[in-house]
Chains A and B, each alone.
Chain A
Amino acid sequence: MTDHTLSSPQPKQTRRLPQINPVYFILAALIVAIILNNPNFVEPSGYMNFLKRAAPLAILAAGQVYVIVSGGFDLSVGSLITLVVVGSSMLSNNDPSSTWWVICVMLGIGLGVGLVNGLVVCFLKVPSLIATLGMMITLNGIAFMWSGGAPRGYLPESFRYFGRFNIRDVPLIQMLPVAVIVMAVVGFALYWLMHRTNLGRMIHAVGDNPRAAQLAGVPINRVRVSAFVISSLSAVIAGILLGGFGGVSTDVGTGYELQAITAAVLGGAQLLGGRGSVPAAIAGALTLTAIFTLLNFLGLPQPVRQVVQGLILIAAVALAMYRRKRTGQ
């Protein structure tokens, strides 16, 4: 670091360029590509539906960033989404007035799941990969048990409001889905918590070097448990939105844990901790959704989607590592 300050101002100029996270450029390019393919996308109904579809993943990715930055993984979010959707339909039992307390119960379950994840990782010293994998298997089993293996039907309309409803006749944009409002509010709250508070700084410190953070007086166990709790709560919110999108089934959440990690990594979060940003993770989630949308417009089948997702995942991390090596950070 010292010889950087001593040398001529030239390295400063070259280092200013990578300041903007490349995920934003990729997202912009993808959106241009979508517009070229489908001019309707510039209409409010086009981009608002896009944002609505991306909202659950964006919220999930914003929560996942907390765990990734603190140095772990959370594989249990997908099954938690399933549990939220299945559990809500069992609890509400088609009674529209139950929505509020059901949501409170679900947030309570999320809090409990996050606490267990965090405590198992911190105090039983089980690596988070295994701890949350065990939680994933357990929660899937509970969802099956609760529904008797055959969940059915839809959630009551008042519950589906969050995922489904569009506020009409809004000036300038005509329609505003409630899911997008939820995404904006949760996204901003998580951004503020991560990048403007002490908790966020401590999460970064713990993920970067847990021993150093501990010696510096960071209550590492409390910080890491908070990260898992935040991730689980974001999964509950994503589950509530997804419950509004479609019917009740036991595979609503399948695959979301890996998509959330992919989105966070696209946003430049560093696996094993110490680096990551909430807005970039949300941009990563939008990028992933944009890629899927684009592939849909191009009429490519599901298998191609998988291949593209895999290649993009590897390319994004390889590029990030290359940049990091080149800038010497």
Chain B
Amino acid sequence: MSDATAGSVRAPAMRVRFERWAPALLLLAAVTMYVVACLATGQTQYLNWNNFLAVIGRSIALGITAIGQTFVILVASIDLSVASLISAVAVLASVVMNGDPAMIVPAIGASLILGAIVGLINGLIVTRLDVNPLIATLGMSLVIQGCLSAFVSNFAGAVPTQFQFFAYGNVFGLPFAILFFFALALIAFFVLRFTRFGSNIYAVGGNQDAARFAGISTEKVIIAAHVICSLCATVAGLYLASRLRSGAPWIGANGVYDLESIAVVVIGGTVLAGGRGGIWGTVAGVMIFSLIDSIFNVLGVDAFVKQVLRGIIIVAAVAFYAVRTRRIVA
């Protein structure tokens, strides 16, 4: 470290800049590949505004979940319970609504309360009982999924048409869901960038002991991050209920929202060890993910080959930044 300050002051500055722009570079590469794929196969009909919106619209649920996941990963925690929470919320909301427009508000309220409770329990287990967050939220995921499948085994309830506005409605000619997603991202960005809570999150994630000595109540910050993550998963569950017009106990697990949201956050440049990263990286990661899918569709890649390539791309994208780190990673 000492000779770095003496000799090459510029090198670390360059590295920070690279890390900041890496998600944008990856996104640019993905967009370029998409355009090239469309042109090469002569499918120029995919290169228009509506198709662009469709590409983004495909991964709204993943995006909303990933915004929440960014908060927990920034405090050096992790949340594997989001997938089963999404299923639970979708079922709860559609059962409570049961086709009755008057029940929309109570259903949303009940879902948000469920989400907040799950997040609170996750946070308390992680902070008070000192359980590794991976294990705590994995256990929570099993508990939620078990409770859910004890009661429901298929699509249950129905969502009234008014609520389907969330997934299918348009505002100013743009899909409401996409506007909602970007609004949520913007709010998350402001919270992380301009509030005391936001800087506390970075402080706790960077070095928990240092943050505690600096007078930050680290437990509260970690618990709050978990509550935010669970609330985002709740919103994603509501979105899926609205989109599928009903809730089923497997929609979260089928979408692999737990592991994919983590992958998206990491591809977006947020470090699993915490303290570094941000929301726009995650948004870029989500768009990269849906672009990859679209590229495969345009090229007509076989479904199984698609899966193989997907695994390789996730690792390669993370390696794109990680390869420069000097630390020994776990």
| Same complex origin of A and B | yes
Assuming the contacts A135-B315, A141-B304, A306-B146, asked whether A271 and B132 have C-beta atoms less than 8 A apart, the reply is yes
Residues from chain B with Cβ under 8 Å of A171 in the complex:
none
B232-274 Cβ-contact flags toward A at 8 Å (1 or 0)? 0000000000000000000000000001001100100000110
Which residue of the partner chain, among A127, A128, A133, A210, contacts B259 with CB atoms under 8 Å? A133
Residues from chain B with Cβ under 8 Å of A33 in the complex:
none
A298 at the interface (CB under 8 A from B): no
Residues from chain A with Cβ under 8 Å of B142 in the complex:
306-307, 309-310, 313
Q: Which of A282-305 contact B (CB under 8 A)?
A: 301-305
Assuming the contacts A145-B304, A272-B132, A307-B143, asked whether A130 and B330 have C-beta atoms less than 8 A apart, the reply is no
* Binding stretch for chain A, among B32-40, B85-93, B123-131: B123-131
Q: Are B146 and A133 in contact (CB under 8 A)?
A: no
Q: Which of B140-165 contact A (CB under 8 A)?
A: 140-143, 145-150
Chain A, Cβ-Cβ closest to B148: A303
Chain B, Cβ-Cβ closest to A128: B330
Which residue of the partner chain, among A72, A137, A272, A303, contacts B311 with CB atoms under 8 Å? A137
Q: Are A135 and B330 in contact (CB under 8 A)?
A: no
Residues from chain A with Cβ under 8 Å of B143 in the complex:
306-307, 310-311
Q: Are A306 and B145 in contact (CB under 8 A)?
A: yes
Residues from chain B with Cβ under 8 Å of A307 in the complex:
142-143, 146-147, 150
Chain A, Cβ-Cβ closest to B328: A210
A50 at the interface (CB under 8 A from B): no
Chain A, Cβ-Cβ closest to B308: A141
* Binding stretch for chain B, among A21-29, A38-46, A178-186, A317-325: A317-325
A112 at the interface (CB under 8 A from B): no
Residues from chain B with Cβ under 8 Å of A136 in the complex:
311
B139 at the interface (CB under 8 A from A): yes
Residues from chain A with Cβ under 8 Å of B266 in the complex:
127, 130
Q: Are A321 and B139 in contact (CB under 8 A)?
A: no
A138-164 Cβ-contact flags toward B at 8 Å (1 or 0)? 111110110001000000000000000
A124, A211, A302, A308 — most chain B CB neighbours (10 Å)? A124
Q: Are A125 and B322 in contact (CB under 8 A)?
A: yes
Q: How far is A214 from B306 in the complex, measured between Cα atoms in Å?
A: 39
Q: How far is A318 from B309 in the complex, measured between Cα atoms in Å?
A: 38
Q: How far is A50 from B327 in the complex, measured between Cα atoms in Å?
A: 44
B298 CB, min distance to chain A CBs, angstroms: 19
Q: Are A149 and B311 in contact (CB under 8 A)?
A: no
Q: How far is A304 from B303 in the complex, measured between Cα atoms in Å?
A: 34
B125 CB, min distance to chain A CBs, angstroms: 6
Q: Are B131 and A141 in contact (CB under 8 A)?
A: no
Residues from chain B with Cβ under 8 Å of A103 in the complex:
none
Q: Are A134 and B315 in contact (CB under 8 A)?
A: yes
B314 at the interface (CB under 8 A from A): yes
B312 at the interface (CB under 8 A from A): yes
Q: Are B330 and A137 in contact (CB under 8 A)?
A: no
Assuming the contacts A126-B318, A310-B141, asked whether A144 and B328 have C-beta atoms less than 8 A apart, the reply is no
Q: Are B125 and A129 in contact (CB under 8 A)?
A: no
B207 CB, min distance to chain A CBs, angstroms: 16
The number of chain A residues with a CB under 8 A from chain B is 56
Chain B, Cβ-Cβ closest to A312: B139
B299 at the interface (CB under 8 A from A): no
A78 CB, min distance to chain B CBs, angstroms: 12
Q: How far is A120 from B311 in the complex, measured between Cα atoms in Å?
A: 13
Residues from chain B with Cβ under 8 Å of A126 in the complex:
315, 318-319, 322, 329
Q: Are B129 and A149 in contact (CB under 8 A)?
A: no
B125, B130, B262 — most chain A CB neighbours (10 Å)? B130
Q: How far is A306 from B145 in the complex, measured between Cα atoms in Å?
A: 7
Which residue of the partner chain, among B132, B259, B312, contacts A138 with CB atoms under 8 Å? B312
Q: Are A149 and B328 in contact (CB under 8 A)?
A: no
B131, B272, B310 — most chain A CB neighbours (10 Å)? B131
Chain A, Cβ-Cβ closest to B145: A306
Which residue of the partner chain, among B141, B302, B309, B328, contacts A214 with CB atoms under 8 Å? B328
Q: Which of A173-224 contact B (CB under 8 A)?
A: 210-211, 214, 220
Residues from chain B with Cβ under 8 Å of A318 in the complex:
125, 129-131
A81 CB, min distance to chain B CBs, angstroms: 16
Assuming the contacts A138-B312, A211-B328, asked whether A310 and B304 have C-beta atoms less than 8 A apart, the reply is no
A265 at the interface (CB under 8 A from B): yes
Which residue of the partner chain, among A125, A142, A149, A301, contacts B319 with CB atoms under 8 Å? A125
B18 CB, min distance to chain A CBs, angstroms: 14
B134, B138, B146, B309 — most chain A CB neighbours (10 Å)? B146
Q: Are A121 and B150 in contact (CB under 8 A)?
A: no
Q: How far is A305 from B146 in the complex, measured between Cα atoms in Å?
A: 7
B120 at the interface (CB under 8 A from A): no
B259, B324, B330 — most chain A CB neighbours (10 Å)? B330
Which residue of the partner chain, among A72, A142, A211, A317, contacts B308 with CB atoms under 8 Å? A142
A273 at the interface (CB under 8 A from B): yes
Q: How far is A70 from B235 in the complex, measured between Cα atoms in Å?
A: 38
Chain A, Cβ-Cβ closest to B136: A314
Chain A, Cβ-Cβ closest to B81: A310
Residues from chain B with Cβ under 8 Å of A214 in the complex:
328
Q: Are A301 and B150 in contact (CB under 8 A)?
A: yes
Q: Are A120 and B319 in contact (CB under 8 A)?
A: yes
Q: Are B308 and A120 in contact (CB under 8 A)?
A: no
Can you report 18 A-B residue pairs in the complex whose CB atoms are below 8 A from each other? A121-B329, A125-B319, A127-B266, A127-B318, A130-B272, A130-B314, A133-B311, A133-B314, A138-B312, A141-B307, A144-B303, A149-B304, A220-B328, A272-B330, A301-B150, A307-B147, A309-B142, A314-B129
Given A141-B308, A317-B135, 12 additional A-B pairs, CB 8 A: A120-B319, A125-B324, A125-B329, A126-B318, A126-B319, A134-B312, A145-B302, A149-B304, A271-B134, A306-B146, A311-B139, A314-B136
